[in-house]
Amino acid sequence: MPSASASVPDSSVSPSRSPVYLEPEKLERACRMERLRRSGPGGQNRNKVETAVRFYHPATGLVGEATERRYQGENRKIALERLRIEIALTVRSPVPTSLAPPADVNLGAFENLKPSKIAASADARASLRWFARLQGSKIRVAPSSFDYAILVSEFFDVFEANGENLSATAAALETTASQIVRFLAAVPKCLEELNRRRTRLGLARLKP
């Protein structure tokens, strides 16, 4: 049976913003953490301690879980990353209508952005964070980066705003459909969500 930790939900989160933007420690406080005992391969000691971790996010009902590592700290980090991906794929937000950044965005991270890119963010309805990750039409972000789940979330927000038209979305985000597919394929579940939507529309599945 799982045992609940002492994690206490953080009630200070603005309801108007997706929790995908929360720093890891704040997202943890907004969750209930369970320590789990898992059976299966992994050595004699695997069943003797509760090393698996599950995060439950009450505000969205979403879960991130990790069981594969021997140490709870490693599983905790992976479980939180998986929860952020679940949030990015599930929780939709209205696309921005102005250049005004959220109060918790560090504008210093965007100081090298060209003025044309900053101006484009209003029309493209994506954040400065997205354009800071573009190099030409290439999306430069590792799946291990904190920004990855945020960019996935913003892609699907803009995708919905463009009627789930991938070409229009790619144009709005100043990239290409093939670059978006590569970007999403870094975490297979993200590309699967795009393909699930395309299948619903009667369109062909995309491969990386």
What does the H/E/C string look like for 164-208?
CCHHHHHHHCCCCHHHHHHHHHCCHHHHHHHHHHHHHCCCCCCCC
Range in 129-133, 149-153, 176-180, 203-207 the model is least confident about: 129-133
Claim to verify: residue 114 and residue 193 sit in the same structural domain = yes
Span 140-176, pLDDT tens digits: 999 999 999 999 999 999 999 889 999 999 988 889 9
Asked if 139 contacts 190 with a C-beta cutoff of 8 angstroms, the reply is no
Q: pLDDT tier at 68 (50, 70, 90 boundaries)?
A: confident
Using DSSP's 3-state secondary structure scheme, residue 45 falls into coil
Neighbours of 136 (CB within 10 A): 10
Asked if 53 contacts 34 with a C-beta cutoff of 8 angstroms, the reply is yes
**Per-residue model confidence (pLDDT) at position 49:** 62
**Per-residue model confidence (pLDDT) at position 180:** 98
Under 8 Å CB-to-CB from 108, ≥6 apart: which residues?
A: none
Q: Is residue 59 part of a domain?
A: yes
Q: Residue 83: pLDDT above 50?
A: yes
**Per-residue model confidence (pLDDT) at position 178:** 97
Q: Is residue 101 part of a domain?
A: no
Where does residue 89 rank: exposed (0-12), middle (13-18), buried (19+ CB within 10 A)? buried
- The domain that holds 64 is classified in CATH as 3.30.160.20
Where does residue 39 rank: exposed (0-12), middle (13-18), buried (19+ CB within 10 A)? exposed
Which residue among 90, 117, 140 closes a domain? Answer: 90
Claim to verify: residue 152 and residue 74 sit in the same structural domain = no
Which residue among 90, 120, 147 closes a domain? Answer: 90
Q: Is residue 102 part of a domain?
A: no
**Per-residue model confidence (pLDDT) at position 106:** 53
Claim to verify: residue 80 and residue 11 sit in the same structural domain = yes
Which residue among 90, 121, 154 closes a domain? Answer: 90
Q: pLDDT tier at 192 (50, 70, 90 boundaries)?
A: very high
Q: Is residue 136 part of a domain?
A: yes
Backbone angles phi, psi at 126, to 5 degrees: -130, 165
Look at the chain and report how many structural domains it folds into.
Answer: 2
Q: How far apart, in whole angstroms, are the C-alpha atoms of residue 64 and residue 19?
A: 14
Asked if 182 contacts 208 with a C-beta cutoff of 8 angstroms, the reply is yes
Higher pLDDT, 192 or 114: 192
Using DSSP's 3-state secondary structure scheme, residue 22 falls into coil
Claim to verify: residue 8 and residue 58 sit in the same structural domain = yes
Asked if 11 contacts 32 with a C-beta cutoff of 8 angstroms, the reply is no
Q: Which amino acid is at 2?
A: P
Claim to verify: residue 178 and residue 136 sit in the same structural domain = yes
- Residue ranges making up the domain that contains 36: 3-90
Q: Which residues of 15-24 are buried (b: 16+ CB within 10 A; e: fewer)?
A: eeebbbbbee
Higher pLDDT, 78 or 125: 78
Claim to verify: residue 112 and residue 31 sit in the same structural domain = no
Claim to verify: residue 80 and residue 111 sit in the same structural domain = no
Q: Is residue 100 part of a domain?
A: no
Q: Is residue 98 part of a domain?
A: no
Q: Is residue 97 part of a domain?
A: no
**What average pLDDT does range 11-32 have in this prediction?**
79
Higher pLDDT, 31 or 98: 31
Claim to verify: residue 111 and residue 76 sit in the same structural domain = no
Claim to verify: residue 22 and residue 76 sit in the same structural domain = yes
